Amino acid sequence: MTIQRETMPYDVVVVGGGPAGLAAAIRIKQLNADLSVCVLEKGSEIGAHILSGAVVDPRAMDELLPDWRDSDCPLAQTPVTDNWHWVLTKGGHYAVPHALMPPFMSNHGNYTASLGNLCRWLGGKAEELGVEIFPGFPAAELLYDGDRIIGVQTGDMGVDHEGNPKPDYQPGMNLTAKYTVLAEGARGHLTKRVKAKYDLERDCQPQVYGLGIKELWDIAPDKHVPGRVLHTQGWPLSESESWGGGFLYHQAGGQVALGFVTALDYRNPHVSPYEEFQRWKQHPAIRAILEGGKRVSYGARVINEGGWQSVPHLAFPGGVLAGCSAGFVNVPRIKGSHTAMKSGMLAAEAIVEAITAGHEGTQLDGYEATLRESWIADELKLVQNAQPLVAKFGGALGTVLAGADMWARYLKVNPFGAMAHHTDAEATGRADLYQPIAYPKPDGVISFDRLTSVSFSFTNHEEDQPCHLKLTDPSVPTRINLPRYAGPEARYCPAGVYEFVDVPGGEGDAKRLQINAQNCVHCKTCDIKDPTGNITWVAPEGGGGPNYPNM
């Protein structure tokens, strides 16, 4: 059957309504108001799929919208006033003096806020400038003219589980463009294809990731200190020789944003990042803050942790990568919004320059060259070995070496060069080499089960639609992953999407992998951590997924 699709031409199509995509759209209109720009956002609204700590460095905001502090911008509500870093032991903790850290690790002058609300505000600014924003329209496919990208196709609506049109079927649209900006966030599904097609990672290290799991709590007023920022490391991941850490930020409205990041290069396949987060909340120092409070939201998302050496080539015929699609997170600072926005602005400037010169669909190598000479590069080079040193030497010694390396680079010395990475999938060890972990049952007060938590993400998918979690080989989960790795799918997912269930009428203890795709919070962990690389995440029907408030 030939599907008739509407075509809508634009000068620029931006995929992703996060900080990078919105900054790109705003900057294009600032430079040339006559250019037509649209932003596609797969969430039900701008901000619905945005999840971050977040403590934001305002450097890019100052460049993009210099008067933001004097406006109703939600970022301006809560400047950082108090900064702590704790190393946790099982029953206690000790503070790391800030004097031991390089000056660039300070949070002085930063702000803590909901990144989702900041994106909603940026979306309003973009629309004021004439940017067209389409929430609920995921970019499902790339459009090509020969070897160059000429836009994207949005996903079809009203397709049943078997792929057949339902009575309310609506075909996706073709949005054509002179240039396309991929700003999908970490592990974007179109970015993944573009990297492979154009071999964008030929000269860089593989990207590695952490899984960030976050909750919002209303806490007792006498415990709330607006602007207080706390980071932790050590327990409980130290018990499984894994790496990561927690955060707890006192934000506006009597709320704290708290969460836990587990580096996905952990070797023990029995580790459950979700359960490690629940354990972390039960630490006496963390529990003391939460007791008497109430959880109001939950979510999860992966974070780029590869650093500067994992940044791929950024330009290809007809388009560019920006933001976390490329991987500009400063890992030890746990910040990437400012670098994402700056990359979007630099992409915008290169696009406007090209269109003004009469070009269309060219490869914008000037964008890449400019970015690699920008303050993004200066900042990320200072910290590029923090993650690989910890990965190689472990949490205790690795942290000391990472600190020494950052100090040395700050003082213009480079002792280690640029260290290498291994993919998170290949880091996973055989189950028989590690002891299973007996995680405590949730108490329903501080710690919770996964399905209850998913209900606090307000996730919704139309159940009768094609599964957006694709198995390359359906036999792999039970033929390889279950016997060799003890079925890690059931543990690395923070939303209970994957579970091994008995085969009805099967012989002995025969199992099959059940995929509860309606639970998916779009964190992308399965696309990254599956030890056989057997799972591919694709965009579900538009508007599906979490609906995060204030995250």
pLDDT digits (tens, 9 = 90+) for 449-465: 999 999 999 999 988 99
Q: Output the pLDDT for position 307.
A: 94
Task: Give the Cα separation of 243 and 234 in Å (integer).
Answer: 8
Task: Give the Cα separation of 481 and 478 in Å (integer).
Answer: 6
pLDDT by residue (tens digit) across 404-435? 888 888 888 888 888 889 999 999 999 999 99
Mean pLDDT within 339-362: 98
Which of 126-140, 162-176, 399-413 shows the lowest mean pLDDT across its residues?
Answer: 399-413
Q: Output the pLDDT for position 359.
A: 97
Q: Output the pLDDT for position 1.
A: 57
What is residue 499's DSSP assignment? E
pLDDT by residue (tens digit) across 25-67? 999 999 999 999 999 999 999 999 999 989 999 999 999 999 9
Written as six digits, the tokens of 46 are 């701008």
Q: Output the pLDDT for position 417.
A: 83
Considering only CA atoms, which of 385, 422, 180, 207 is closest in space to residue 312? 207
- Mean pLDDT for the chain? 95
Q: Output the pLDDT for position 410.
A: 86
Phi, psi of 285 (to 5 degrees): -70, -30
- Residue partners of 379: CB distance under 8 A and separation at least 6: 104, 330, 339
Residue whose token pair is 């923090």: 386
Mean pLDDT within 96-112: 87
> Residue 436: in which H helix or E strand, if any?
none
What is the DSSP secondary-structure string of 143-208?
EEETTEEEEEEEPPEEE-TTSPEEEEEEPPPEEEEEEEEE---TT-HHHHHHHHHTTTTTTSPPP-
Q: Output the pLDDT for position 404.
A: 87
Q: Output the pLDDT for position 390.
A: 87
pTM above 0.85, yes or no: yes
C-alpha dist (Å) from residue 253 to 77, 225, 226, 458, 466: 10, 11, 9, 21, 40
- For 417, the 3-state DSSP assignment is coil
Task: Give the Cα separation of 68 and 70 in Å (integer).
Answer: 5
Mean pLDDT within 204-209: 96
pLDDT by residue (tens digit) across 463-492? 899 999 999 999 999 999 999 999 999 999
> Residue 471: in which H helix or E strand, if any?
strand 469-471
Burial class (CB within 10 angstroms; exposed 0-12, middle 13-18, buried 19+) of 2: exposed
Instruction: Indicate the pairing of strand 174-182 with strand 7-15.
Output: parallel
Is residue 143 within 8 A of residue 150, CB to CB? The reply is: yes
Phi, psi of 252 (to 5 degrees): -70, 160
Q: Output the pLDDT for position 399.
A: 85
- Helix 115-128 / helix 19-31 crossing angle, nearest 10 deg: 20
Q: Output the pLDDT for position 103.
A: 84
